[in-house]
Structure 1
């Protein structure tokens, strides 16, 4: 935007919108601090934007020790798959398959890329493998002083990737003394326990000694929680519309095919239908005699095109075999030294390091054998020791021919990955005041490196399929046992060892000056100006080739890519009248490989009386494509048969080249032609304090985005041949050469809602004090289109395979204290939504099927006692009433969780917490 137009925009909004304010502090002057949302130091209770503050004391009393638990308590955060539990599943083409057990913030549900995470106001490195956002597991939780969440776009203040908001994690500084803390969290039902120990030491008073040095260290261990340890995690509840669609069973189902024992199909007496799979246990009604298996529920899964698939098959509840909490360990270290250079000047050096190790455990691989796949005949041979003869059930069964089958390869073991992420940041900073002008300057270097090792369950495809073709392995073992010779042969086909590595780096130089320029009739004009120069890099490599390894989570290599970002910004606080104040800001970011963008922001507060405040903001945003979206390497693949070229077939009816092609090839990967995502957003709010000790805030917010970047599969491209015609590459004769899948710019998104904040405190009785808080978010609308040109669709309250957009979420606390005692009651609530129908709405729900997933609410109770010398003890109960997650009938192939949804609920159940803190001096 040209500067003249920018000035006109700021002036217009400023004059037309005198409706923003934050309560003005009326007491004597106190120390100024920098508030998230502004670079100008001011009195702490001032500020024009809605900022939620979460203190360390609140986190400790609620027993929150992990990033996943923290984000579940923030109502403005999205309800999505950006946590280790959900991230283990596929979740469609937009999923981040290399997140490696990371946890991300996603304010307003716009995705981790659109939320800026800061540590003490400065950027942290993005996750080593994913490269898309800061892994919150890398934050030293024990060193947190408070967390400030800006629920408004802040591209003009902090940078272009702050469209959804800013999460500023403020760490402890200038600590004196020594303090040790031990914490344990034990579930009542067993499994999923959490333990943490931390130590903080510091020496030196900055004012009297002229220096301070401090260090914190913490270690957290999360134990494994398996689905089989919770009764509600059950994927076979057909009376409620839930049953597995997976026929890759531990006791294999036979498949049909030319020149196989079942031929191209079979019939049963009394029926004219042709069936495609068979299992002797199904014919006998004994599927459930094998653990995890059940009779395939045809009514739930049949549709018009395939009404009888798998009728005589068994199904496998692999969702009920899922690991709901991966075993993990996190270690964090913070070192900080501050030196007073002069009365108003100081220098500090800060080093932050973390190491996170997460073991992701997935169910064994599902495989389908064939007569010719990958150049290998993996069919079970005639005359093999375990040959399964179905002629007593199927008269056309040809025992002279081999068997092909679908099998859950349990003898190969669970697919197990170990993800180790090491992050570090070194910062040298200077802060001070010169003639009433504040300055700060910093030079930092940060990096995050993530490694994945495959520990078990991954086999080389060709050797493994050759082994199956020998008949040594028994795919029809009722108890899953194999001979030692078979187990040794399977072991010989496995790959164990280093698999992939990712690394991000960030080098940054930044500086800001702020102060008061001159006196205006209504007060002094304050301003801040600064710069932010940084170099970002990312690389992703496969330590071994992924293609030969069956179902390995490999991506194409991305050689090291680097870009420079140069930013200049300015901010003004303009007192228009005694009651009206404007915040005007503008920032220009110049990306070396994308281009430059200028983003303005206007915010204002208006306080006509001492009990009423009106506030609002308007701003623009710009989100550059990530390294992965731009540069990830190209992967070649093939679509299965049955996919047609709808455009070509319409033009050439009956031509098999268009209407019945054998296969379609496709390519996927990065797209260097991507445009940035852009946004416009605004807020309008009111704060009232009708009497001392109580305040309420109500803030309306709206965000419009354009050119969203999504990952589209080859199937989606072919289903939208007009809108995505450029992604279907044709030969000279019009036939499809290949389909270009991967990252594209789609249409936009529009979301609106209201944030509610309630605060109260007071005294009663003989020395009792009480405090109450509530932070809630009402999402009125969340609409977007997945394909350019398509109409926007409403998703609030509807099932979706990536994120859920819930109507209402809140987090509330109520505490009472007297003397050395404190009691805290907490509540978290998430509203219900429409459930996924069987087979995406194509199946037949059972009678009485409930199409709604109920709401989910949890209460917590914690008691703290500080009566012992230098000691604080907190005992708590999480999920006080032992509320199970609400039932959902969604397909576990779309969203992980058999009968429950980890995007909404905590599977651990009632848990008891104990935190002991001791101050040595």
Structure 2
């Protein structure tokens, strides 16, 4: 808590203006204006309830971001604006994060991961992104949502399974699109970064029309293109690759030699004589770009030009809407949309390794896992006849793959959505019926990945040997590094019927009942590429999931304003899934308002997340985990307990294994179950000033995790062996093994973990007049986490303010505090706004993963320093504060000029030396990425960004 006054003081000291104002006072002000004008108070449906009401302050806290708020944020995408909300925490995903869900963005309310945050469009479900977070948790990609078509975004910061069902454990993000539009609006924007890269162009066109007095429609078209930003276009400690200036530090630049990499890849390919070891005469460089002495002195390093801080993206969005009043009682709404989101992620350089190749574990929906494509020790060699080989016998190869310099993934996601809403009244009941068809298709093309067998065959080709210096034919490259294609689809179709009515008049207002039923069908088909299934291409993303699910639900809700000062709410929902059975989720809430200036509110609810097809369908996922010893093929030990690798009973290669782990699905999984509590106050001392403070606690039991995370997990019980084979024993003899060697470790999903988090969320907003023409709005939002307790193997770890949990959602960091200070000034046609965002610091440890001290934590995901020598200044990730400024000027009724500067003060991201999310991976540098956190500090990596736009309406 001590960090909060410092954070607020720091924010105020920057003199930052703001744009992204909380909603609370805005709703109250609108209601007050209506009353003053003797107008009827409009009843609305607020996210978290299906009962329309006049008071938009429900027992549950709801934040609203209007279309104007989104504009004032300074960003040009919905995903960027949502990334900065203070309730967004650990586990959030951005397009700059290299993950299983490449190309997508997701929101993680209260740090409970993207799988615990339900994202709706117009109050309805949308098909999830086909590539799940960590290959496990489905989520809706917010990257595809067009910004210009958004009317507002409502963020429910409370559990809502009693109304919406699965996934609404931590809250709900409801993106509400414009229902109608008049006239024509054309917007053109362009922007660029100060330090290079990231140029953005944005065009949108909206055309509204009246087909009759009762029918309005509009069509919206939006296009956005964003250039990539490469790591080499930025400078600062967080971009550093040469850490040799630190005690025990390593030089991790591409082409550098260090204590881990003895034979680095350089721009000059070279051969090594296996008979001579590492002496100077054992190396033959194939051109004059480098030699043995310069290589060893790290004079042959080269620039990392492939790592991206921000990927290249392109969006094309089409939306058509039609709203028709059929008669006095009935209205029909139709919406159809097509969102096309393209991205391009460059992952690393493509290298040819030295020595043996252990093969690829091939997995897929139509085959049992198996290691294939093994090349015998001493492979990846060139023959004695290879041009430039002076040794007279085969030699090892160390080279960049020529003619295909980088591994790159092209992602193209198409989202289709068609929804019909019918609303009316029958016999005093308000009726709402909806039918929706949604589908997301993600196509991926992988470039620069090696076919090991084809590469070795091309190196051995005496007639036309593979040219390590480049200039190979397209036919040869198509065999060595084929373009690998994959396609995944996710469908979600729904049918909903709801009814509500007033049952009686109570002292505080009408007693209202809402009830409804729904049917949701999901179908996921996300096979891995054919080349991953047959193992012909190495290092491809190796996950697949296929499954279907039907969910039928019935719910009821009651809103009872029993007194003028007291409202009681209750809801209950029953869900049936054809995959596991039933779930029942209740919720109760209250709001007590003894005066117009003060209200007390609270809720108690249960929630759940149903197992997805990635967890209980047909699926698999490969990953690296613990090193093990095979006690069958390595039974003999030294007196100190270490394996005796000289023993004639031991197979040394089986004494220290790093087998592939295969994550498998489990059919009898139960849903994750949650308990949520909120308690808060609303204070409105004067008109146009509203303040809320809410406490929350969420506990999730039965969390679905890999069995390998359990202390009781014995990998040998899950080991899958091949058949007996010829092996070499410690005394040099060979023979047939009594059992087959371990091919992989199969580990299922289990309900094995509990996570509980508690915190407080504060927001205040005051809108006042400076004079008759000028108004100012001041706001502050702040989220503080008291604890984030994860219970695993009977032990509880508090991960608030640490880097954990790495075993859940990408090791994104878990800051205790996020704050947002806003200030906006309006005078006539001119508006200037700014938002200052604050993310608190956190240490690099992760007790849930056994990383309880700084050095072990920094060693876990990188190799910047030798063990025991990590500098103390990197044990904590510093806080990060940045300001976005936006301005607009309405030239006349038709023309509006706008501009924005994000990261106004050009703040750099803090160094995060523990994360593995920062791109920068290089095979010759032991896999270390850039030392920054793309989930929390992406704005700092991008740097100062200028944007200017012109809007024409007629």
Q: TM class by shorter-chain length?
A: 0.7 to 0.9
The residue that corresponds to 2:598 in the other structure is: 612
Identify which of 60, 85, 92 aligns with 1:74. Answer: 85
Alignment match of 1:866 (pick from 881, 890, 895): 890
What SS does the corresponding residue of 1:707 show, helix, strand or coil? strand
Q: Does the 8 Å CA contact 1:252/1:408 hold for their aligned counterparts? A: yes
**Inter-CA distance 868–501: structure 2 relative to 1 (3 Å threshold):** same
Counterparts of 2:82 and 2:635, CA distance in 1: 49
- Which residue matches 2:233? 229
> 1:502 corresponds to which residue?
488
2: CA distance between counterparts of 1:515 and 1:216? 35
Q: Does 1:901 align with 2:933?
A: yes
Partner SS, residue 142 of structure 1? coil
* Superimposed CA distance per residue, residues 822-867 of structure 1 (whole angstroms, 9 cap, x where no aligned partner): 1112111111112464423972336664422211111122221113
Whether the 8 Å CA contact 2:250–2:866 is kept in 1: the answer is: no
- 1:555 and 2:542 equivalent? yes
Partner of residue 421 from structure 1, selected from 403, 413, 425: 413
- Cα 1:468–1:832 shift into 2, 3 Å: farther
CA 1:760–1:893: 2 relative to 1, 3 Å: closer
Q: 2:589 aligns with which of 594, 597, 603?
A: 603
Task: Tell me how far 1:514 sits from its aligned partner.
Answer: 1.4
Alpha-carbon deviation of 1:676?
A: 1.5
Alignment partner, residue 805 of structure 1: 814
| Matched position secondary structure for 1:351 | strand
| Counterpart residue number, 1:333 | 318
- Once the two structures are overlaid, the 10-residue window that deviates more, 338-347 or 588-597, is 338-347
SS state at 1:60 partner? helix
1:464 lines up with 2:469 in the alignment: no
Distance 2:346 2:831 in 1: 40
Q: 1:844 aligns with which of 868, 873, 880?
A: 868
Question: Over the residues paired in the alignment, what is the CA RMSD in angstroms?
Answer: 3.7
Given that 2:703 and 2:754 are in contact with CA atoms closer than 8 Å, whether structure 1 keeps it comes out as: yes
CA distance in 2, matches of 1:730, 1:661: 16
Please say if residues 75 and 902 of structure 2, whose CA atoms lie closer than 8 Å, have aligned partners that are also in contact: no
Q: Structure 1 residues 458 and 514 mapped into 2: Cα distance closer, same or farther (>3 Å)?
A: same
Moved more, 241-250 or 367-376: 241-250
State whether residues 700 and 752 of structure 1, in contact with CA within 8 Å, keep that contact through their aligned partners in structure 2.
Answer: yes
Cα deviation code 1:695-750 (max 9, x no counterpart): 2111111111112223466xx67xx4557786457999999786223533331111
TM superposition shift of 1:516: 1.1
CA distance in 2, matches of 1:697, 1:637: 45
The reply to whether residue 511 of structure 1 matches residue 497 of structure 2 is: yes
Deviates more, 1:704-713 or 1:592-601: 704-713
Residues 1:140 and 2:140 aligned together? no
| Cα distance, 1:253 vs structure 2 | 12
Q: Distance in 2 between matches of 1:534 and 1:839?
A: 46
Distance of aligned partners of 1:353 and 1:891 in 2 relative to their CA distance in 1, 3 Å threshold = closer
Q: Secondary structure at the match of 2:81?
A: helix
- Residue aligned with 2:110, SS: coil
- Any conservation in 2 of the 1:250–1:410 contact (CA below 8 Å)? no
Residues 908 and 558 of structure 1, relative CA distance in 2, 3 Å threshold: closer
Instruction: Tell me whether 367-376 or 641-650 shows the greater mean CA deviation.
Output: 641-650
* 8 Å contact from structure 1 (residues 116, 167) kept in 2: yes
Q: CA deviation at 1:370?
A: 2.1
Looking at structure 2, the residues matched to 510 and 634 of structure 1 have their Cα atoms a distance apart, in angstroms, of 33
Contact 2:90–2:113 (8 Å) recurs in 1? no
Give the CA deviation at 1:433. 3.0
Displacement of 1:656: 3.9
Q: What is the CA-CA distance between 1:596 and the residue it aligns to? A: 0.7
Task: Tell me by how many angstroms 1:485 deviates.
Answer: 4.8
Q: Which residue of 1 aligns with 2:900?
A: 876
Of 172-181 and 648-657, deviating more is 648-657
| Cross-structure match for 1:33 | 44
Give the whole-Å Cα distance in 2 for the aligned partners of 1:453 and 1:847.
Answer: 41
The reply on whether 1:446 has 2:438 as its aligned counterpart is yes
Secondary structure of 1:39's match?
coil
Task: Tell me the CA shift for residue 671 of structure 1.
Answer: 2.4
| Cα separation, 2, equivalents of 1:772 and 1:156 | 35
1:493 paired residue number: 480
Secondary structure in 1 matching 2:490: strand
Q: In 2, Cα distance between the equivalents of 1:830 and 1:458?
A: 38
Equivalent pair of 1:678/1:705 in contact (CA under 8 Å): yes
| Residues 252, 213 of structure 1: alpha-carbon distance in 2 compared, 3 angstrom cutoff | closer
Please state if 1:918 is matched with 2:952: yes
Pairwise CA distance, 1:537: 0.8
Q: Aligned pair in 2 of structure 1 residues 105, 486: CA closer, same or farther (>3 Å)? A: same
- Alignment correspondent of 2:255: none
Structure 1 pair 44–344 and aligned structure 2 pair: CA distance change class (3 A) = farther
Q: Give the C-alpha shift of residue 803 in structure 1.
A: 2.6
- Aligned-partner SS, 2:881: strand
CA deviation after TM superposition for structure 1 residue 326, in Å: 1.2
In 1, are the aligned partners of 2:337 and 2:417 still within 8 Å (CA)?
Answer: yes
| 1:603 shift after superposition | 1.1
Out of 248-257 and 40-49, give the one that drifted further.
Answer: 248-257
Q: How does 1:731-750 map to 2 (within 5 A)?
A: 739-741=745-747, 743-750=749-756
Q: Tell me, what secondary structure is at the counterpart of 1:137?
A: helix
Distance 1:440 1:30 in 2: 21
The number of equivalent residue pairs is 828
Shift of 1:352: 1.5
Q: Partner of 1:843: helix, strand, or coil?
A: coil
- Answer yes or no: is the 8 Å Cα contact 2:319–2:335 preserved in 1: yes
| Counterpart mapping for 1:628-643 below 5 A | 628-634=614-620, 643=629
- Counterpart position of 1:65: 76
1:364 aligned to 2:368? Answer: no
Q: Which residue of 1 aligns with 2:5?
A: none
- Distance (whole Å) between structure 2 residues aligned to residue 537 and residue 647 of structure 1: 44
Deviation at residue 139 of structure 1 after TM alignment = 1.6
Structure 1: runs of 5+ lacking an equivalent: 1-21, 90-96, 268-278, 293-317, 389-398
Q: Structure 2 matches for 1:789-804, cutoff 5 A?
A: 789-798=794-803, 800=806, 802-804=811-813
Deviation at 1:436, TM superposition (A): 4.7
Q: Identify if the C-alpha distance between structure 1 residues 724 and 554 changes in structure 2 by more than 3 Å, giving closer, same or farther.
A: closer
**1:153-232 matched pairs, under 5 angstroms:** 153-204=159-210, 209-232=213-236
Structure 2 residue 575 is matched with structure 1 residue 584 = no
User: Is 1:261 aligned to 2:291, yes or no?
Assistant: no
Structure 1 residue 230, shift from structure 2 partner: 0.5
Q: Assess if the C-alpha contact under 8 Å between 1:358 and 1:419 holds in 2.
A: yes
Supply the distance in 1 between the matched residues of 2:594 and 2:410 (Cα, whole angstroms).
59
Deviation at 1:238, TM superposition (A): 3.9
**Bigger mean CA offset, 650-659 vs 789-798:** 650-659
Report the secondary structure of 1:583's partner residue.
Answer: strand
Once residues 42 and 211 of structure 2 are traced to their aligned partners in structure 1, the CA distance between those partners, rounded to angstroms, is 18
- How far is the alpha carbon of 1:378 from its aligned partner? 1.5
CA distance in 1, matches of 2:423, 2:188: 35
Q: CA deviation at 1:661?
A: 7.0
Q: 3-state DSSP class of the match of 1:710?
A: strand
CA contact (8 A) 1:723 1:789 kept: no
CA distance in structure 2 between the partners assigned to 1:848 and 1:137 by the alignment: 38
Q: Is the 8 A contact 1:747 1:789 kept in 2?
A: no
What's 1:704 paired with? 699
Q: Given the superposition, is the C-alpha separation of residues 202 and 791 from structure 1 closer, same or farther in structure 2, using an over 3 Å criterion?
A: same
SS in 2 for 1:633: strand
In the alignment, the residues of structure 1 paired with residue 714 and residue 753 of structure 2 have an alpha-carbon distance, to the nearest angstrom, of 11
Change (3 A) 1:51 1:372: closer
Identify which range, 225-234 or 891-900, moves more after superposition: 891-900
Q: Please list the CA deviations of residues 25-55 of structure 1 after superposition, one character each: whole Å capped at 9, or x if unmatched.
A: 6746411110011111011533111111111
Using a 3 Å threshold, how does the CA distance of structure 1 residues 582 and 725 change in structure 2: closer, same or farther?
Answer: farther
**Most deviating of 840-849 and 66-75:** 840-849
Q: Is the 8 A contact 2:633 2:650 kept in 1?
A: no
CA deviation vs aligned residue, 1:8-38 (integer Å, no higher than 9, x gap)? xxxxxxxxxxxxxx98967464111100111
1:669-708 aligned within 5 A: 669-708=664-703
Distance change >3 Å, CA 124–CA 483, structure 1 → 2: closer
* 1:574 positional shift: 1.8
